[in-house]
Chain A
Amino acid sequence: MLSFLSAVEANSGDTIGWALLRIGIVLGVVLGIVPGLIWWERRLLSWFQDRIGPNRVGPFGLLQPIADGVKLFFKEDITPATVDRLLYFLAPAIALFPAFTIWAVLPWGPDRRLTPIADVDVGVLYILAISSLGVYGLFLGGWASNNKYSLLGGLRSAAQMVSYELAMGVALGCVILATGSLRLTEVVQQQFEPLWGTVPWMQNWFILTPWGFVAGVIFLITMVAETNRAPFDLPEAESELISGFHTEYSSMKFAVFFMGEYATMFAFSGIFAALFLGGWSPLPFNWEFLAQRATDANLPWLASALSFVGGPIAAPLWMLGKMFGGITFYIWLRATLPRLRYDQLMTLGWKYLLPIAALNFVVVAIWMQFGWAALFGALAVLFLLYINVVLYVSRRRPKDTVPKVQFANPPASTEATIEVTRS
C-alpha cells in the first residue's frame, strides 16, 4: 500500500471511508465559507471607507455572493486570440490546486478521526512546499495571456514569492526547532503546556513567548505576501498593471482565480492559528486545570462549563473563529496600508525579515541548548561587540571616504578637480 494511503489508515485505525469524510468536511466548509468571506470583505471594506456596501440582495446583502456568482457564470467568456491556449486554460486550475491541497495537514480539532486529513510526519514542510506551488498559477496566467502587463504581474509574483518564502521558512524553522516536530498536531499539542513552563493556569501559545512573537509576526507578514494581498498585491496592482496576471481572464476563469485567493487566505489564517495561536483552544487558559480548580471549589456547573469550552465539541468553533479573525486582519491591512513600491518590497523581504528571522532562529537554538541565562549573556556580548564596531567604523570613516587623486599637473579650475575625484 502506498504510504500516503497507509498513513491515512494508520492515522485513525480505520479505512478510506473516514478519509473521504475528512476530505468532505474540509471541502464543504471551505466551499461554503469562501462566498461568505467575499461578502464580509466587501462589507468591512465599505465600513472602513465610510460607505455602506452591498446591502440589497437578501438580509444585509448576504446573498450578494450568489448574485455575483451568477453574474460571473453568465458573462461572456472571452479568450483573446493570441494566448497560449493550453496554459491559458490551465492557469486558473493550477492556481486553485494549492489553495485546496494545503488544507490536508491543517488540524481543526482534537478528534484524530476527523482531522487533519493526513497527519503526515512532514506537515510544516508540506505547507511550505504547497504554498510555493501557488505561484505557478499566477505566473502561467501572466505568461499565457500574451499581454505585457500580465507578464509583468507574473514576473513580480515569482520574485515576490521566492523572496518571502525564505523568511517564512526560517520563521517556521523556529517553531520546528522549539517543538522538535514537523507535525502540526504535535505543534498544537505542545501549545497546551503551561505557559513558559511555569504558569500552570495558562497555555504556552507560541505567540506569547518572546521568540514565538518574533517568528509569528514574520510569519504573518510573509503569509500576506504569499497570498498576494494588500499591501503586497503588486502582481495584480490595479493602478499600474490593470490587475496584472488576470487582466485577460473573464467570466468563470476569473472567478476561479478569485476563489483560489480567498481559499488560500482562509487556509493561511488557519495555519497561523495552529502554529502560533494555540490551535483550537479559545483563549490561552489551561481549561482542564481551571475545571479541576472549579471542582475543588465545589462549583460543578462552572467546571462543566469550563471543560465544555475547552472540550472537543466547541473546538472547531474556536478554530473557525480564529480563521475568521485572520481574514478580518487581512481586510484590515488592505483597508489601511498603501501598496508597497517594488524596491520597498524587496528591501523588506531580504534586508529586514530574513535577517531578523535568522537571528531569531539562532536565539531559539541557544535557548534550547543552554537556557535563557546563556542566551542573554550571548546577546550582551554581541551587543557590546556591535557597539564597538560601530564606534570604530564611525570614527575612521571621514578620512577614508574620498580617495586621494594625485595629479602630475594640477588642473586649472576647481570644477575639473571635483569631477575627476567623483568619477
Chain B
Amino acid sequence: MTLTTFAFLVMAVVLVLSAWGVVVAKSPVRSALSLVVNFFVLAFLYFGMNYDLLGISQILVYTGLIMMLFLFCILLLNLGAPDTLFEPSLIKRSLAWFVGGVLVLAVSSQVIGPMATWSTSTPTAPEGFGQAASVGQSLFTGWVYGFEIASVLLLVGIVGSILVAKRRD
C-alpha cells in the first residue's frame, strides 16, 4: 500500500464516519461539528487531487464561515437534543428503509463499477488546472456573466434579508 492510498483510506474513513455522525448525533451542536470535520477532511481530498484552490476555498468558506454561522444560529436559538427520536409508525419506518436502500443501491452501483477496474494511476488534475490563475482567468473571461449574475443574486439575498430584519414597526 502506497502512502497515497493510505492517506486516502484514512481520509475516506473519517469522511464516512463524520457524515454518519451528522445524521446520528442527538445534539445539534455535535451534528454540526461532524459536518465541520466532514468539510475539513473533504478539503484534504481536494488537495490530494491537486485542486489547491478548491480545497482552500472549501476550508475558508464552508468550514470557516458557513459552519460558524450554523453553530452561531444553533447556539443563539439554544437548540437542545429532541426528547424522542423514535418513529412509532411501522409504515413510515419501512418506507424510510426502502427509500434509503434504493438510494444506497443507486449510489453504490455508480461507485463500485469504477472501483472494480481501479488502476494504480490516481486521478489528478492536469498541470495548472484549478490553480488560482487559471480559475480567475476563466471566471473573468468565459464565465463572467454567470459569475456576475451569481454575485447579483447574492446581493439580492443580502438586501432581502435586511428588509425582512427591518420590518418590525
**Residues of A with Cβ closer than 8 Å to B?**
1-5, 84, 87, 120-122, 125-126, 128-130, 132-133, 135-136, 139-140, 143, 151, 154-155, 158-159, 161-162, 165, 182
Contact = CB atoms under 8 A, between A and B. Distances in A.
Given A3-B50, A121-B52, 9 more contacts: A2-B4, A3-B48, A87-B30, A121-B131, A122-B132, A129-B64, A132-B68, A140-B33, A158-B72
Contact of A122 (B4, B7, B56, B124): B56
A161 B63 CA distance: 13
Nearest to B64: A132
Contacts of B132: 121-122, 125, 182
Given A1-B4, A3-B124, A139-B68, A125 B75 contact: no
Secondary structure dominating the interface of A: helix
B68 A162 contact: yes
A15 B63 CA distance: 31
A143 B29 contact: yes
A84 B27 CA distance: 11
Which 8 pairs, one residue from A and one from B, show the smallest C-beta to C-beta distance? A132-B64, A129-B60, A129-B59, A3-B50, A122-B56, A125-B56, A2-B48, A158-B72
A165 B64 contact: yes
Contacts of A158: 68, 71-72, 75
A155 B132 CA distance: 34
A138 to B, nearest CB: 11
Nearest to B60: A129
A122 B64 contact: no
Contacts of B71: 139, 158
A247 B33 CA distance: 22
A120 B72 contact: no
Secondary structure dominating the interface of B: helix
Contacts of A2: 3-4, 7, 47-48
Interface string B19-34: 0000000010110010
A165 B65 CA distance: 9
A182 B53 CA distance: 10
Contact of A125 (B53, B68, B69): B53
B36 interface: yes
Nearest to B4: A2
A128 B57 CA distance: 10
Chain A CB within 10 Å, residue with most, of B50, B56, B76, B131: B56
Contacts of B68: 132, 135-136, 139, 158, 161-162
A140 B50 CA distance: 32
A96 to B, nearest CB: 16
B3 A132 contact: no
A143 B30 CA distance: 11
A162 B60 CA distance: 11
Contact of B75 (A5, A84, A154, A162): A154
Chain A CB within 10 Å, residue with most, of B30, B53, B132: B132
B71 to A, nearest CB: 6
B79 to A, nearest CB: 12
A126 B47 CA distance: 12
Given A3-B48, A132-B64, A143-B29, A159 B72 contact: yes
A140 B30 CA distance: 10
A87 B33 contact: yes
Contact of A132 (B50, B65, B72, B131): B65
A124 B72 CA distance: 26
Contacts of B131: 121
B52 A122 contact: yes
28 contacts: A1-B3, A2-B4, A2-B7, A2-B47, A2-B48, A3-B47, A3-B48, A4-B47, A84-B27, A87-B30, A120-B52, A121-B131, A122-B53, A128-B60, A129-B60, A132-B60, A132-B63, A132-B64, A133-B59, A133-B63, A133-B64, A143-B29, A155-B72, A158-B68, A158-B72, A159-B72, A162-B69, A165-B64
Contacts of A129: 56, 59-60, 63-64
Chain B CB within 10 Å, residue with most, of A2, A135, A158, A182: A2
